[in-house]
Structure 1
Amino acid sequence: MDIKRKELLITSFALFSLFFGAGNLLLPPLLGYNSGDDWVWVTIGFMITAVVIPILGILAHARLQGTLFDFGKKVSPTFSLIYCILIYVIAVAIPSPRTAAATHEIAVFPAFGTSPLVTSAIYFSLVLVFVLNRSKILSLIGKFLTPFIVIMLLAVISIGLFSSEFNTGISQFETPIATGILEGYQTFDAIGAVVVGAVIIISLNFKNMAVEAYSSKRTLIRKSGFIAGLGLFIIYAGLISVGAYFGSELSINAELSSDMQRANLLRDISIASLGEFGNTVLSILISLACFTTAIGIVAGTADYFKGLLNDSQVVYVITAILASGLGVLVGQLDFNSIIVVAIPVLLFIYPITIVLILLNVLPEKFATPLVFRAVVIITFVFSIPDVVGFISPTEDLKIFTNYIPFSNQSLGWVLPAFVAFLISVFVQFKLKRAE
């Protein structure tokens, strides 16, 4: 069956919107502001973990066309089950509530002065309504919400760049690319790829999309992934560059928390670009971007546990209610507190997620169970010092990590994982020749 252009655009827009949430909008401008004249190098690093890896995750979904469980089953079914549960628990406990916190701090509180409990309760009640009507998610987001988000973002970026004097400050980063890579972790896009990719696949199974054949579905997902990735690239690069070029025109109160610095900078850029109307635009933009991401996370989590427990619709509803309830509770925290909690979790789970994505897009001969197990185990082992070093840094640990390349940048797992891949592939070929 030929893929219709309408289906491709709807799926691409929906995929972009499910990715693009609170962190995706708030993180890049401050990153650009602090990177100054190194903003291009920071952008390169940011794109690796916030665009390239997530889109590879969507390509892996296009190939597997299963659930998140299929990503890790070559390591072992037990590992994959534990990994899936961890991913979904993390998703509904951190990035999903974070969308509510961002919406409250930037859009709701300045306008209405309500408590975060009221905001998160109303917010996740609406999320739950959309998730329980999941057959309409893809079409609604793709047709209506995302085009509006994209138009407003492009307006802020283009007018902002046009009105700036193209002067940048001095970079505050010693290793711009590494900083960009780690900041890309905070978008949760790699985790988002493995979670919302499954949402896209399940949504395509509904009759309103009329995509049935494996090859047609794979082509549709791959093309929409590339289009969504291009959109993310343009928006991220635009927001980082706007933050960098406005660095000489705007000032940030260093005494404010990081989340308020991000919010104030983005608000100042919006007002400088669109006048006082920019504040209203920003509020609507934040709310919509966050809302669509929360829908994708909660729906993806409910889908997984529904499939895990005999395809039970009751399980789907209960999971959606519990995830929304957790969102209400955690969503009362401020945005920065959620980020601080997220960092050690990301340093642990993100490297494993990245290697699983990369292995699942490789040809079968390079991605055997032996290779999967070797790479994942080594990645896990060498991620531990990064986590421990962040939570409780000690001189003894530093003496050890000094011998691990890139460990000072919290990327000590990269080279060992690559070496493990090469060795395990070599061993696999040797074993095949011996048979």
Structure 2
Amino acid sequence: MYTRQTLLVTSFGLFSLFFGAGNLLIPPLLGYNAGDKWFWVTLGFMITAVVIPIIGIMAHAKLQGTMYDFGKKVAPWFSSIYCIIVYAISIAIPSPRTASATHEIAVHPAFGTSPLLTSLIYFALVLVFVLNRSKILNIIGKFLTPMIVIMLLLVIGIGLYNSSLANPATFETPMVSGILEGYQTFDAIGAVVVGAFLIVSINFKTVDVEAYEAKRSLIRKAGLIAGLGLFVIYAGLISVGAYYGTEINVDDSLSNDMQRANLLRGISSSALGTFGNTVLSILISLACFTTAVGIVAGTADYFRGLFNKSNTAYIITAIVGCLAGVAVGQLDFHSIIVIAYPILLFIYPITIVLIILNILSEKWSSPLVFRAVVLTTFIFSIPDVIGFVSPSEDLKTVIEYIPLAKYSLGWALPALVMFFGVNTFQKGRGM
């Protein structure tokens, strides 16, 4: 079996790998806009930013393989393409986004340096950590995560203590807004990437966690603890944005990313005084850095396995991932989110159904069920993507006939109907 220390280190490490740039910046502004409806926004946000990702970790505990295992029941070719797309997205968007957020909030206000210099130093450090693969989880879990959690709780606790009444909500459908904002954290995609990373990290420490059941127990408990931590921090940041955010001057004429940064900076400064900006800079840097390390290492792990456990493939992938981070990291945080959103509308629903299907028992998740549900999800996600990229009157007419499509959730009900339909068909034929 494993020790309590192993469980805590794994849990802290998992929390930190999830908690990156978007996870810190998005909730306060979400709460600010939610106002007195912040509870319902929080509920929606938790579905896509906590519940689905932790179910993904539970699925990894069951499979104990790689991301490839998530989609192999659909077809081997599908799973390979899915893995490459998800890892490419992870390297091209969330990883550079961490560097961009670190520069805009922590580095540039203090030193006035260029984003190129920040990205070069940032990803050089990421590469050092990634190349020391066997030590990553220990370093993050033992040292970096406790610092992140302590600083977050300080900001949230003092902010709520000094809070006032929340403004009226600006969202028409607070819960749906929360669900869609949860997409921006990348946590569901992060679950399949980070979960695979976690399996490899545990395998590096096989002294007390060798048996399948022991690993399954460790991963499931670590997932629950990390999920509880995410829930507390997200709820805290959203409520602080809703209540204490009314004390901060948020310029509505600015872009969302600048509003997010200014609001978080204002909350930190008001809660902790002049020390607040220093705390925020350290907090942003640590939260972003640990996520970038997890993404690059997880991607390198996958390509290492793809090329017969080649360490050369691991090193080359890590270097390419860091170079891509430097290149894309020259964009500002808002530009990266604008690029990311239509991609998320396409890949996120498929990821969600794969996570849910993999956690179910075999009698409910046959290969036929996988294929039918994934295909249905793909088809009904297309209007969401097209509607965001190039909306038209004809498309609006189509969307009116698809339940929940106007909320960019048109795939959900058809996928659910297909799931029960195929299972009923199989049971009727004795399959």
Question: Do they superpose with TM above 0.5?
Answer: yes
Report deviation, 1:247. Answer: 3.6
In 2: Cα distance, 1:154 partner to 1:266 partner:
14
Q: 1:135-214 alignment to 2 at 5 Å?
A: 135-165=134-164, 167-207=165-205, 210-214=208-212
The DSSP-based 3-state class of the residue aligned with 2:204 is: coil
- Residue in 2 that maps onto 1:66: 65
In 2: Cα distance, 1:257 partner to 1:134 partner:
38
Aligned partner letter, 2:150: I
Deviations 1:303-333 (CA, angstroms, capped at 9, x unpaired): 0011011111000000000000000000110
The DSSP-based 3-state class of the residue aligned with 1:256 is: coil
- Residue in 1 that maps onto 2:305: 307
| 8 A contact 1:7–1:209 mirrored in 2 | no
Deviations 1:120-177 (CA, angstroms, capped at 9, x unpaired): 0110010001000010001000000000100000010011000112x01111111111
Q: 1:7-406 alignment to 2 at 5 Å?
A: 7-165=6-164, 167-207=165-205, 210-406=208-404
| 8 A contact 1:298–1:320 mirrored in 2 | yes
Aligned partner letter, 2:127: L
Report deviation, 1:73. Answer: 0.2
Deviations 1:227-279 (CA, angstroms, capped at 9, x unpaired): 00000000000000000002432221122121111000001101111111011
Structure 2, unpaired ranges of 5+: none
| 8 A contact 1:352–1:380 mirrored in 2 | yes
Aligned partner letter, 1:30: L
Structure 1, unpaired ranges of 5+: none
Q: For the structure 1 residues 161 and 387, does the alpha-carbon distance in structure 2 shift closer, same or farther, using more than 3 Å as the test?
A: same
| 8 A contact 1:370–1:428 mirrored in 2 | no
Report deviation, 1:211. Answer: 1.1
Report deviation, 1:362. Answer: 0.5
In 2: Cα distance, 1:429 partner to 1:108 partner:
59
In 2: Cα distance, 1:353 partner to 1:419 partner:
18
For the aligned residues, what is the CA RMSD?
Answer: 0.8
Report deviation, 1:209. Answer: 5.7
Q: For the structure 1 residues 106 and 256, does the alpha-carbon distance in structure 2 shift closer, same or farther, using more than 3 Å as the test?
A: same
| 8 A contact 1:169–1:247 mirrored in 2 | no
Matched residues, number: 431
Deviations 1:12-38 (CA, angstroms, capped at 9, x unpaired): 000000000000000000000000011
| 8 A contact 1:371–1:425 mirrored in 2 | yes
In 1: Cα distance, 2:247 partner to 2:292 partner:
34
| 8 A contact 1:204–1:210 mirrored in 2 | no
The DSSP-based 3-state class of the residue aligned with 2:409 is: coil
Deviations 1:261-301 (CA, angstroms, capped at 9, x unpaired): 10000011011111110110000000000000000000000
In 2: Cα distance, 1:427 partner to 1:131 partner:
48
Deviations 1:374-397 (CA, angstroms, capped at 9, x unpaired): 100000000000000000000000
Report deviation, 1:77. Answer: 0.2
In 2: Cα distance, 1:248 partner to 1:103 partner:
25
